[in-house]
Structure 1
Amino acid sequence: MMDRRQFLNHASLLTAAALLPTSGCSMSDQPQFKMGYQLFSVREDMAREPIDTLRKLTLMGYEDFEIYGFDADANKIYGHSPTDFRKVLDDLNITTTSGHFGFHPFLDKPLAELDRYVDQCIDCAKALGMPYITWPWMAPEQRSLETFKRLPEMLNRIGERVSAAGLGFAYHNHDFEFVEYDGQTGYDIILRETDPNLVKLQIDMYWVMHSAKQTPKELIASQPGRFVMWHIKDMHKLSRDYTELGNGSINYVEVLPDPTLSGLEYYYLEQGGNYTHNAMQSAKDSADFFKEQLQRFL
């Protein structure tokens, strides 16, 4: 039998447990995900000294990376073959889980050339042990309603080829997807006309907060389970340009969506420019802020 003191202690624990959040972001002490970084943020350092740059980033706490700049003609990434670069990653005990690849030039090329390039991306990803291939960009002259009307078919085609190879394919947004054309946006078209099983989504929360009429939480609620990757970067309070996490106007404690509802698998901190001091110091400042203020939510 439970005495009165044991009963009261038990009741207090149950009351406290009931007050804890039952949905939304995790509050566990142990993060579920590795802290990732998009290497475009330190592109000049990666061009000069890729191995030393990666080593310094690991000392800041980054464990996972998203690559960019694959040279398909030379089959090189940061001056190394994918196989040799994988050895670099393994030696540093880090991973790369997504890559931004240059798909947009193939909007105006024969499908056979696109297929060949996709196969090269697949080979690179497999050599690196990288589960996702990501479409990151369109050139300014390509950003039109006509492009968005024909883009879904191309995304589905890439996704089908990547999926058949045992990998995932995702689309990364900027601001131009949220321009309206007769009451709909390019992003609306992508969401509506691509196959969710073939084309996943990488949400850039900065650009959503900058340009979309929906919040990241609202976008994710409209396509639950599909936003498998996040880009997290802050917005300068005056210029609205990039800035270090914690130095800007985005309150990520409020903005971060539910990772489970999102289908989150990987996230990457990022800062494409507008560094307060230099790119590497910005990477450290963002890492420090994220670990102190935000990592517990993941």
Structure 2
Amino acid sequence: MALQYPLSFQLYSGRNFPPLEGQLRIIAEAGFSNVEPYGAFYEDVAGAASLFKEFGLTAKSGHFGLDSLEADPDGNFRIAEALGIETIVAPYLAPDARPTNKEGWQALGDRLASLAQRARQAGYGFGWHNHDFEFIALPDGSHPIEHLLVDGVKWEADIAWIVRANADPKPWIARYGAIMPLVHVKDIAPAGEKVNEDGWADVGTGVVDWATIWPLCVAAGAQIMVAEHDNPSDLGRFATVSAQAMRELAKA
């Protein structure tokens, strides 16, 4: 299956480089055609929609806080509709909110499944975006991610966070690839490098084996490949280098 959006960009990567208009210009000029917004873009939805249109960008997925989704699902669905978002993704769970056992993660999975059903009824897909903690074994030997990807919950796989958990992404892609429409394309700098960027790297310049993992994701059914860097020191550099690497990966 061919990728619909091989060049997408998680806008959280540009949060330290205001204004929003400048970020979008850099991203569009690098060659990205799709973006993934987050909360900062929901404060002025009409303004964000106008900027996306100005720079020829679509926004087929978006990150929405779990608490906000549970408190006001319909309000978040209206934001998604206004921006053209088709898949709503819950992106994170703060450390103090993370369960410590299988039963706790199962309860969270039930909450996500309820949101997935509500989103589906409203015409949206719903997914969970992982970090490293979902791939660290629980006392019973299971992993949190196994209890979250249930009953219609899709997976936005952040491959580099899996690697940071000292786990191999490949068996997880094989297991959950059928419900993985979105992939975060992130890279990790060699040990001791890019300390000022929290050890992350531009796509294609780090140690994540994207030459192997990208085609596995595509073969599994991924439709949107989303560049992300949690703390780039230069947004233009990250966008340009990563877009070129992703173009090459998409050709392979």
- Letter paired with 2:165: S
Secondary structure of the corresponding residue to residue 99 of structure 1: strand
Distance 1:290 1:151 in 2: 34
Q: CA deviation at 1:34?
A: 4.2
**Are 2:183 and 2:217, in contact at CA under 8 Å, matched by a contact in 1?**
no
Q: CA deviation at 1:258?
A: 3.1
Secondary structure of the corresponding residue to residue 258 of structure 1: helix
| Equivalence for 1:8 | none
Matches within 5 A, 1:1-298: 32-45=4-17, 48-70=18-40, 77=41, 79-80=43-44, 82-103=45-66, 105=67, 115-146=70-101, 147-181=104-138, 182-191=140-149, 194-195=150-151, 198-211=152-165, 213-215=167-169, 217-239=170-192, 241-273=199-231, 275=232, 277-291=233-247, 293-297=248-252
Can you list the C-alpha shifts for 1:223-279, whole angstroms capped at 9, x where unaligned?
242001000111111148211122211121122243454221211011111x3x423
Can you list the C-alpha shifts for 1:161-206, whole angstroms capped at 9, x where unaligned?
1110101100011000112112111112223xx21xx211100010
Distance 2:168 2:204 in 1: 22
- Letter paired with 1:266: I
Q: CA deviation at 1:143?
A: 2.0
**Are 1:42 and 1:280, in contact at CA under 8 Å, matched by a contact in 2?**
no
Can you list the C-alpha shifts for 1:130-189, whole angstroms capped at 9, x where unaligned?
101101000011222354131011001111111101011000110001121121111122
Tell me: CA distance 1:115–1:204, structure 2 relative to 1, closer, same or farther (3 Å).
closer
Secondary structure of the corresponding residue to residue 182 of structure 2: strand
What's the % identity of the aligned pairs? 27
Distance 1:189 1:177 in 2: 9
Tell me: CA distance 1:235–1:224, structure 2 relative to 1, closer, same or farther (3 Å).
closer
Distance 1:224 1:101 in 2: 22
**Are 2:8 and 2:36, in contact at CA under 8 Å, matched by a contact in 1?**
yes
Distance 2:153 2:89 in 1: 9
Tell me: CA distance 1:116–1:32, structure 2 relative to 1, closer, same or farther (3 Å).
closer
Q: CA RMSD in A?
A: 2.2
- Letter paired with 1:223: Y
Distance 2:21 2:234 in 1: 18
Distance 1:265 1:290 in 2: 14
Distance 2:218 2:27 in 1: 27
Distance 1:78 1:160 in 2: 23
Unaligned runs of 5+ in 1: 1-24, 71-76, 107-113
Secondary structure of the corresponding residue to residue 256 of structure 1: helix
Distance 1:56 1:171 in 2: 28
Distance 2:127 2:204 in 1: 28
| Equivalence for 1:20 | none
Q: CA deviation at 1:118?
A: 1.5
- Letter paired with 2:23: T
Can you list the C-alpha shifts for 1:82-138, whole angstroms capped at 9, x where unaligned?
2332222122211011111111x47xxxxxxx5442211111000101101101000
Residue correspondences, number:
244
Which one has the largest radius of gyration? 1
**Are 1:68 and 1:101, in contact at CA under 8 Å, matched by a contact in 2?**
yes
Unaligned runs of 5+ in 2: 194-198
